Chains A and B, each alone.
Chain A
């Protein structure tokens, strides 16, 4: 009887390498270290392209429109309702002690120092880091990135730098919009829910803020912008596994950027508080 391919395959000496727990852990650790190294290299190259010509101004403007103007509706809407919810949550506690007028102080400080930058960072991550990863990932799997390199264009300069510059320029502005809309939402909620006067709310909110709060609130977005843009680009440019890989990279970009933004926020807050004590 003739051998079938299956019979022949079954007779072959299959000595597959043994899979051990230690082996898997070592490989995972090696992969993580390699990822960090590649990401650091990409960040380094990006920083160089930010200060050396040629610059792709048209691409920067396009990305600013996409990342900045495109994110505005979700930022405005979310900011308004975050401020309103804060007033509703804190106002009920302050009312118990007859201090409902302090609501403006709390909302202003919490929004400007913390919630404005971090929520804007997370919202823009959800919308843009994923978009960047999927766009660049799709370009990679369809060989458009290779075509770009084959035609003498540096993909970091053409694709990564404009997205990073655009995010760095627009995220602080979006944060300012979140802060303003949050205060506006808080004002509306305090007027209708706590029966505070709008003038009293705004006066207390503005008086509660000092320069250190603004410094803290408007320094963080630059770091968050760099994180979300570079992670989105890195995940997009390291896609493996075709269209399925693009989907995976998109998810990873959202998750990793969000986690890194939250982790960075903790350290930045500590540094900002330390500097505020020393300098202001």
Chain B
């Protein structure tokens, strides 16, 4: 069973160098028209790909496609070497346990306590009660919300709900985490807390991440900073760090009018002369 690994051990690495997530000419259309028109990109293991774009450009849909929650009209999507675009829903349900999904508004089950929300996957897997409680408290401690275990989501602030959502996605330590606008609508301080959590997940556990956002500063924070497990602090990427934390890469992908408008690193994006991309830099 996935999820018995202690939280301070790194996530397993795949034996080959094939991309963890791969979109090939993915098209997705609705009655109103196509939202994605032949989108292709790859995310390597332990890499973070920041999906940027205006509202309605298909960022959230790309995440849902990666998780198999939606089927593409055309194209192919490979996740952890499996073709999620052609998998049956029954197979996908089991496969999705290897993917953590942090929804924009948290999507916590409002009739359950924070503890039950976080424990949901373990309860579904019929894990023993005596094993569930310490694991729930461990992940809640990771997001610094141990004291909320008996509270209901409606009693929490927006930022706290996002952190609980991250804890819920973490409970069985998935190798991939998909973040849907994790800082949208939050104040700068709370946003920073969320970004720090994402950095910790990336640099301590080595998760591969796809992060959809409208805020370029979130992406730049992921590219410029890292979490140092030794000092347990966020430091600038240029400072000394272990080999594992230094290799964590952050790339950017800008979606526009259903296609990939830009794909590259932070320097390329920051130095761009393109008028459209400059609008994100302002």
Contact = CB atoms under 8 A, between A and B. Distances in A.
A121 to B, nearest CB: 27
Contacts of B95: 152
B109 A146 contact: no
Interface in B83-99: 89-90, 93-97, 99
A142 B93 contact: no
Q: How large is the interface on A (under 10, 10 to 19, 20 to 34, 35 or more residues)?
A: 10 to 19
A149 B108 CA distance: 13
A143 B103 contact: yes
Contact of A147 (B93, B94, B101): B101
B124 to A, nearest CB: 6
Contacts of A148: 109
Interface string B60-74: 000010010100000
A142 B110 contact: yes
Interface in A121-157: 142-144, 146-154
A149 B121 CA distance: 11
Nearest to B109: A144
Contacts of A150: 67, 69, 96, 99, 101, 103
Interface in B105-124: 105, 107-110, 120-121, 124
B44 interface: no
A29 B121 CA distance: 42
B69 A146 contact: yes
Contacts of B124: 151-153
Contacts of A144: 107-110
Given A151-B121, A152-B121, A152-B124, A146 B103 contact: yes
Contacts of A147: 101, 103, 107-109
A151 B104 contact: no
Contacts of B96: 149-152
Nearest to B171: A151
Given A152-B121, A152-B124, A153-B124, A146 B97 contact: no
A144 B105 CA distance: 10
Interface in B46-69: 64, 67, 69
A146 B107 contact: yes
A149 B69 CA distance: 7
Contacts of B120: 151, 153
Contacts of B103: 143, 146-147, 150
A142 B168 CA distance: 16
Interface string B144-184: 00000000000000000000000010000000000000000
A146 B108 CA distance: 11
A152 B94 contact: yes
26 contacts: A142-B107, A142-B110, A143-B107, A144-B107, A144-B110, A146-B64, A146-B69, A146-B101, A146-B103, A147-B101, A149-B69, A149-B93, A149-B96, A150-B67, A150-B101, A150-B103, A151-B96, A151-B97, A151-B168, A152-B95, A152-B121, A152-B124, A153-B93, A153-B120, A153-B124, A154-B93
